[in-house]
Structure 1
Amino acid sequence: MKIAVIGTGYVGLVSGCCFAEWGHEVVCVDKNAEKISGLRQGRLPIYEPGLDELLERNAAAGRLSFTCDVAEAVKDAAAVFIAVGTPPRPGHGDADLSFVYMAAKEIAPLLADNAVVVVKSTVPVGTGDAVEKIIVTERGRGTFSVASNPEFLREGVAIRDFLEPDRVVIGVVDERAREVLTTIYGEPLAKTNSPIVVTERRTSELIKYAANAFLATKITFINELADLCEQVGSDVEELALGVGLDKRIGASFLNAGPGYGGSCFPKDTLALLRTAQDHGVALRIVEEAVSVNDARKRKMALKVMDAVGGDIDGLTVAVFGLTFKPDTDDMREAPSVPLIETLQRFGAVMRAHDPIGMKNAAQMLENVEFFEDPYECARDADAIVIVTEWDSIQRLDLVRLRRMMRSPNLVDLRGVFKAGRAEAAGFHFSAVGRPTTRPAEPVPNLSGTRFHPPRAGAASGELVLGERHDRRANHHQRRETNGELI
């Protein structure tokens, strides 16, 4: 089946490559000639593990092509997926649908008879109705269908999420749309036992926002409990394990941290709230989740300041991990940005390291020195702050890292390191939702001086099950649970 994908951003590009992997003929179209030229040469405008191989393989097989010519892409296509951006409107919070509407207007006269226009962009309830009216105005009635097919990809594992999804949601108002979409998805998903949920179009649109709002609320819930754990001397990781093993709750998205970010949760929760307000409905839980999360990102700066004794003016802070999550170069709404900006306002000298995201981060942050080598980033620093749990950061040699530093302060906002390991390396260790600890033994730094803090009380014991669970699932579960729906 021929498929056209309008837009080669994150959702459009991943979707186009994966449709081609399933054997469909896919043409991706974008207005940006430079981007299209790069894609034809195999250069990706985004970072997503495995996407380059997928693009190269399907382009070589002749199943995947790229163009700036909308007519070429849409000609004879049975399905035309609109996958353009829907950013929040500045000062309003609701989704900017101008790109969706422009795409609908442009493709309308070019559609083949009985083509199905599929809105894959994240849009508020009723957008499909508006798209249908636009196409009717430009084309006339009765020769097309409009459907909703929201995407549920997590950056960093997007290919797996597309090819082996938890479910696929399609919203239709006629049998033609149902037939085309179930043909596209049916056979591949039958092999993975992934269900197709068929709903009315407006319900499908709302499912995406509801899913993201629920997950954002779950993250906010565990973050607030982490604050309580710190006050009462409890461990939020053990708490999350005890709660998450309840099958009614589940362990996903119960990793405490500096707050959610990325391209989706922040804008989708705001868009859902605006939709609810427009219809006279109060979503108080979502409102509170948004408010708490916004405040939390800057509150993490206070945690760093507490770790160094309160006054951070003139001290050097090294931030490890800048992107909102691992395995992406996406800096949108990343917690690292407000954290760094707040510390700078209090006089800190900022350094940063990230395996992939420094180029994008440099466009958003000022007066930050970036380092490819994390150990050089830590040289003579007064504190290290872990903001993103990249694999390479988790594998760092803490003893070597400590010896590079001027002061032994390690603030772990992602639960990457165990307190005992940090103590043994000589760190004064502070983590989200866990008691602050001090090093068990002095460790020399590069200048030859030694740090002799008072020995803290014995650390609390760990659940055996919790340790086993962490070692077995920490890497994969953290990658999965801290991912985000796009």
Structure 2
Amino acid sequence: MHSYRVAVIGAGYVGLTAAACFASLGHHVVCADVDESKIARLRRGLIDIVEPELAELVAESVAAGRLTFVYGAPAAVVDAEAVFLCVPTPMGEGGMADLAAVESVTDQVRDLLPAGTVLVNKSTVPVGTAARLAALVGRPDVAVVSNPEFLREGSAVRDFLNPDRIVVGSDDRVAAERITALYARLGAPTVLTDAASAEMVKYAANCFLAMKLSYINAIAELCERLGADIGDVTAGMGYDRRIGPSFLRPGPGWGGSCLPKDVHALLRVADATGFDFDLLDATLKVNDRQVERVLDKVCAACGIAPGGSLDGVRLGLLGLTFKANTNDLRDSPALAVARALRERGAELVAYDPSQVNTDPAVFGELLTLVGDPYQAAKDVTAVVLLTEWQEFRTLDWGQIADSLAEPVVVDTRNHVDPDVLSRVGINWYGVGTAPRLVDTVPAVTR
């Protein structure tokens, strides 16, 4: 396989993962970022991102001489055959994706790109961005290609090297095939299409997943009202090949750096065309409802009337990131719940395995960050599990039971085995199923 000279602009989740994985496939990769301190740390082998297998892959690629880090996009592109834009496209005003970083980098490098270079947009962008960038570059000898990423935080390396599909879109078929060749060793199904369709694939996929999550959270609420069990319901659904078992876990809502901004962006795009995307709008409304659902569950578990005050109630939170196996706090439903609990007056003590080295001042007066889960459970009225870290399954729940002020766990992820908690005398409140009670819940009303 031909070894390409690849430049990756941006050393965040997507950029660093792409750079390390392309290097592992035998390409020579230069990864650039505008953060000089980040580049200095990467050169010393220090990875800020919590992502399984990523640090090892970066170290191997650097040692093999296939991966280097530079400051600034211009230094990375001087002899590149393919330049990948992996820069942030955060939610801007009105919900649209903010393309300032994408356009800024393109402006910086357009006159430096060697003839025949392919400029590849990997960032999530609205339909029409490839055409916009082609006009900005203004060079017939440089093609623009859309190659959206489908990486999940917590399994990004595995997703890159074992993809369900690779999507490459461009109005220049030869350029699209050149980018497809970079992935040849993976042997994955490939969709070659036009740029607009490739851009739409990413939004359509992410918004579908968001709808699936909102749907199962709505079903979970209905299960509670009807006496059904969401675990059995999702098991029965997941065996249907048309549905599949993924994204059928109820929880405190979906968040992270992708789904919220992509749903808002597609809604704005739909609005601009005069299309009322009611289904997607309902997806957001259902998700917004989950925080209040968790608050009601915490109140019930603590013997407090729905909507009542939590003044003087001390709660231990397990998990702060938006999902396990990442240190990403962006749009975390766990933090949304924490803020809502604090607004009701609760005193919060929290533990998250990815945040043990974080300066507690980051969370301000929202919560007290502690260094282990047992500290978070000491003398609290209830433990509220918000992120599905594997270590929470295997805690010494007997030790936690001894330190709790009241024997209560609110498990917003249905993550811990309720039988384990029952054996040590802890009342378990899950989602979409009946509570597992072994003791009298404190009959307090506020």
Q: Secondary structure at the match of 1:246?
A: coil
Q: CA deviation at 1:297?
A: 2.2
Q: CA deviation at 1:438?
A: 1.1
Contact 2:338 2:366 in 1 (8 A): no
Is residue 396 from structure 1 mapped to residue 395 from structure 2 by the alignment?
yes
Q: Secondary structure at the match of 1:363?
A: helix
Contact 1:324 1:331 in 2 (8 A): yes
TM-score by length of 1: 0.87
Classify 1:365/1:260 alpha carbon distance in 2 versus 1 (closer, same or farther; 3 Å). farther
Contact 1:230 1:433 in 2 (8 A): yes
Classify 1:114/1:328 alpha carbon distance in 2 versus 1 (closer, same or farther; 3 Å). same
For 2:388 and 2:124, how far apart are their aligned partners in 1?
A: 27
Contact 2:360 2:369 in 1 (8 A): no
Contact 1:21 1:58 in 2 (8 A): yes
Q: What root-mean-square deviation, in Å, do the aligned CA atoms of Structure 1 and Structure 2 show?
A: 1.5
For 1:453 and 1:228, how far apart are their aligned partners in 2?
A: 24
Unaligned stretches of 5+ in structure 2? none
- 1:265 maps to 259
Q: CA deviation at 1:279?
A: 1.0
Contact 2:77 2:109 in 1 (8 A): yes
Alpha-carbon deviations, 1:106-165, whole Å to 9, x = none?
1100011111000000000000011001000xxxx3211000000000111100000110
For 2:121 and 2:360, how far apart are their aligned partners in 1?
A: 31
Q: Secondary structure at the match of 1:434?
A: coil
Partner residue of 1:198 out of 181, 187, 192: 192
- 1:189 maps to 186
- 1:11 maps to 14
Classify 1:82/1:452 alpha carbon distance in 2 versus 1 (closer, same or farther; 3 Å). closer
Partner residue of 2:153 out of 116, 131, 155: 155
Partner residue of 1:72 out of 68, 72, 75: 75
Contact 1:152 1:161 in 2 (8 A): yes
Classify 1:208/1:360 alpha carbon distance in 2 versus 1 (closer, same or farther; 3 Å). farther
Q: Secondary structure at the match of 2:211?
A: helix
Unaligned stretches of 5+ in structure 1? 440-450, 455-486
Between 1:61-70 and 1:17-26, the stretch displaced more is 61-70
Contact 1:78 1:180 in 2 (8 A): no
For 2:76 and 2:339, how far apart are their aligned partners in 1?
A: 44
For 1:250 and 1:95, how far apart are their aligned partners in 2?
A: 30
For 1:183 and 1:414, how far apart are their aligned partners in 2?
A: 41
Q: Secondary structure at the match of 1:281?
A: coil
For 2:401 and 2:204, how far apart are their aligned partners in 1?
A: 44
- 2:382 maps to 383
Q: CA deviation at 1:295?
A: 2.4
For 1:147 and 1:361, how far apart are their aligned partners in 2?
A: 43
Q: CA deviation at 1:361?
A: 7.8
For 1:321 and 1:416, how far apart are their aligned partners in 2?
A: 12
Q: Counterpart of 1:409 in structure 2: which amino acid?
A: V
Number of aligned residue pairs: 434
Contact 1:330 1:360 in 2 (8 A): no
Classify 1:362/1:416 alpha carbon distance in 2 versus 1 (closer, same or farther; 3 Å). farther
Q: CA deviation at 1:246?
A: 0.6
Classify 1:367/1:283 alpha carbon distance in 2 versus 1 (closer, same or farther; 3 Å). closer
For 2:310 and 2:398, how far apart are their aligned partners in 1?
A: 24
For 1:282 and 1:381, how far apart are their aligned partners in 2?
A: 46
Q: Counterpart of 1:42 in structure 2: which amino acid?
A: G
Contact 2:301 2:441 in 1 (8 A): no
For 2:201 and 2:82, how far apart are their aligned partners in 1?
A: 22
